[in-house]
Structure formats: structure tokens, C-alpha cells
Structure 1
Amino acid sequence: MGGVRVVVVDDHPLFREGLRAALESTPDVRVVAEAETTAAALEVVAAQRPDVVVMDLSLPDASGIEATKQLAQLHPGLPVLVLTTSDDDGSLLGALQAGARGYLVKGAGRDEVLHAVRTAAHGGAVFSGDVAARISALLTGGARRGAEQAFPTLTSREVEVLDLVARGLDNRRIARELFLAEKTVRNHISHIFDKLNVASRTEAAARARDAGLGEPQRPAGPGAAG
């Protein structure tokens, strides 16, 4: 029997039952096993060799993040799709760092979950729209924190201005982006030049990009990346 073979890991029997019914409502997806603990998940994955694991993060013996990490080590390339009620940034980043190929919050519709399972099985990564937007924000925030460490003499506002300079925006655009007067932007840039000991926007932008700034923000939406 062909199709995408799925293992569901969740400690709530009623949720597993509903998820199985949703996944198996289409002929190209089949749930080959269920598990309610990390230990059981490792066992059934080893026995069944599924195409995708759908993983909750709240498990009784160890977190789904730890389970994802162990699965990544034992079965490199096996896609793990997180489906959880945990929508905080710490859980999201932890799951991604553990190797999760996708992250959906419970409440996602049947079609969204099926799309995510199929996409993960074919090597793609899938995040619901709000999660994708938060990943973008977290990555941008991380770059700015790194730049603040690289340029300790700059204020947070000056780092924001420098980021936009590195993206190629002129003073008028920067003023619009940050809701500042152009004169204020010019003052910030003058201070940035002095503090970084540079003489031009090109030089300042190069220094900024070396520190991880200047990446364009792409609008994030539902769907696959891969």
C-alpha cells in the first residue's frame, strides 16, 4: 500500500484519533503507528520507518523537542512536523534547532495539515502563516542583537538606521520607515559615521552587512519553503 506513511506522536488519545481520521480522509496518506511518549516514538519510528512524524511538544516523559532531536540523530533526513498548542517563541526556536521541518499550531485545518504532511514528505518545510512571520521577526531581531554586540557604541535606534542604510534606503525612506524627521535621520547617520569611523554610506553599509544587518525582509505567508 503506497502513499505517505505517518507516525503520530501525541499523548492525548482523542486528539490522535481525530488526527488519524483527518490524515486518512485522503487515499495518499496513511497513519502506520501512534505513540504517546518519546520512548514509544523512538520505538515505533525504528520499527515502521515512516515518511513523516507528526510531533506534539508536550509529552509525559520528555519534550517533543528532545524527541525531535533524538530522531534527527537516529534517522537523519526523517521529516518531523510539529503540531502543538505551544505557540511561544522559545518552543518555536527549540523545535527548529532540534531539526523540525515544519511547525503548525493545533487548530490548523485538515487541508493545512495534509498539505504540511505531503510537503514535509517531499523534502519541503512548512509553517503556518503566523509562525512564518514570527520566524522572520525572530531572525531579524537576532541579527540586530548581534549587531548591537558588534557595535557596542551604537544605540538601538542607530542600529535600526544602520540596518536600513545597509538595505540601500535613502534618508527619506528611512524617515518614513521609522516615523522620524529626515533631519533626525541625518543626525543619526552622522553619529554612526563618527562612531564607526567611516566616511561614506557605502563603507557603513559594508560594515553593517559584515555584522549580519541589511537582509531584506520578505513577506511570509502560509505554504512551503524548500
Structure 2
Amino acid sequence: MTIRVVIADDHAMIRAGLRLVAENADGIEVVGEAADGSEAIAVTRRERPDVLLLDLAMPVADGLEAARTLLAEPAPPRIVMLTTFGSDENLHQALRTGVNGFLLKSSPPEHLVEAIRVAAAGDGLIDPAVTMRLIASFAARPVLVPPPELDTLTEREREVLLLLARGLSNREIAAEAGVGEATVRSHVAQILRKLGLRDRVQAVVLAYESGIVRPGEA
């Protein structure tokens, strides 16, 4: 099944590069482009893509505004935010808005393809470099009261949550925990269900905001 993608970035050369990488991958089709947030909303509504690659900083309406608008609509696309490291507050706001991942524009091409496929499959992904930036920024923020649902996690599920907080993939978690990837996927699904989270991106945020893991411990 082909993954339909819309690319939104105010720089034509970046859009062209993203399109080239995406369309050179099997099973991915770029069905539209946008040069600002307002246009991104219009193109997404028209094309109904599976995944929207959305620049965080754009004119007219920025990526945050476009994401909020689209995610409030029925059957929204999966959104992967593209960033060159804007303010930490923008990163936090985007995560709380419900985007499905963050990717640095300087990331290797294979990371872009992986982010598209992971998002289309219903999961989330944060570029490891973005994860480190977010982790550092949590050090200056007050710790929130951990949700009571955390007590429903088994010891193994809590271990997997800690590994998720480090930004590890399922394959990396499997190697670290000494279990198979299928087992990891099952644990992650249980964690998300018990905590009422949509994907692993939200799990990373919860782990640090509630003090389950503190910067430097993961």
C-alpha cells in the first residue's frame, strides 16, 4: 500500500530535497507541497495524505498553528514536524499538540524514510538529537505529579518505558532487554494502553515530565 505524503516547508530547495528522498523510497508518493502553514492546511484538506511533513517555522501560519488546526479535524493525517532546533518551548508545544514525531532537517535520508513509515504505521518517532535537546530542557522544568496509571505497569513494562525515554527503537530495546522485537511491540502496546497514550512520542514526554526519569539518568 502506497503512503501518501504532503511536504510543507517555506524553502523550495528543502521541499525539493525532501521530495527526492521520499519518492526514491519504495511505497511512498508525494501528493502535494505547501510553502506556508495556511497552504499546508489547504493542501492537506484537499489531498488527504497519510503523513504530513510539516516545517515548524513558516510564514502566514507556522507549523504549530497548522498542526493544531488539522489535528482538531476528523481523520487528521499523521504529522512529522521538521525542525532546525527552534525554541524548546515550541518543541514542547508541538508535542502537546499531538504531532507524531520530530525530525531534524539535517537528518540522514534514511531517517526521513523511517519517520514517514513509522508515522504511517500509527507510531511516533523523535530524532535522537531532538530527544537529547528535549531531555536537557526538562531539567529546568518542574516535575509533574506522576499519573496513578503508572502503578499498573509491570516491572518489565516500566523497564521498557525507561528505554523508550532514551529514544531507543524497538530493535534497540529488544537488544538491551534481551527479548524479541515482537515482545517489545507487545510491551509498548500495553504501556500505551494502560497510560492512555497515543504513541511512543507521548510516552517519552510523560516519562520526563512526571519525573520517572530525570535528565542524566536515562
CA contact (8 A) 1:87 1:105 kept: no
Residues 138-188 of structure 1: CA deviation (Å, up to 9, x unaligned): 5576453x47xxxxxxxxxxxxxxxxxxxxxxxxxxxxxxxxxxxxxxxxx
Q: TM-score, normalised by structure 2?
A: 0.65
Q: Which residue of 2 aligns with 1:184?
A: none
Offset of residue 70 of structure 1: 0.4
CA contact (8 A) 1:127 1:222 kept: no
Change beyond 3 A, Cα 1:91–1:85? same
Task: Flag structure 1 segments of 5+ consecutive residues without an equivalent.
Answer: 148-207
Matches within 5 A, 1:14-163: 14-136=13-135, 138=137, 142=141, 144=143, 146=144
Q: Give the percent of matched residue pairs that are identical in Structure 1 and Structure 2.
A: 30
Offset of residue 83 of structure 1: 1.0
Cα RMSD after superposing both structures? 2.7
CA distance in 2, matches of 1:223, 1:77: 25
CA distance in 1, matches of 2:25, 2:118: 15
CA distance in 2, matches of 1:89, 1:70: 21
Offset of residue 135 of structure 1: 3.8
Helix, strand or coil for the counterpart of 1:218? helix
Task: Flag structure 2 segments of 5+ consecutive residues without an equivalent.
Answer: 151-157, 171-198, 201-218
Change beyond 3 A, Cα 1:139–1:21? same
Q: Which residue of 2 aligns with 1:11?
A: 10
Q: Which letter maps to 1:9?
A: A
Give the count of matched residue pairs: 161
Which has more radius of gyration?
1
The 10-residue stretch of structure 1 (132-141 or 25-34) with the greater mean CA deviation from structure 2? 132-141
CA distance in 2, matches of 1:37, 1:209: 38
Helix, strand or coil for the counterpart of 2:10? coil
Q: TM-score, normalised by structure 1?
A: 0.63
CA distance in 1, matches of 2:75, 2:68: 10
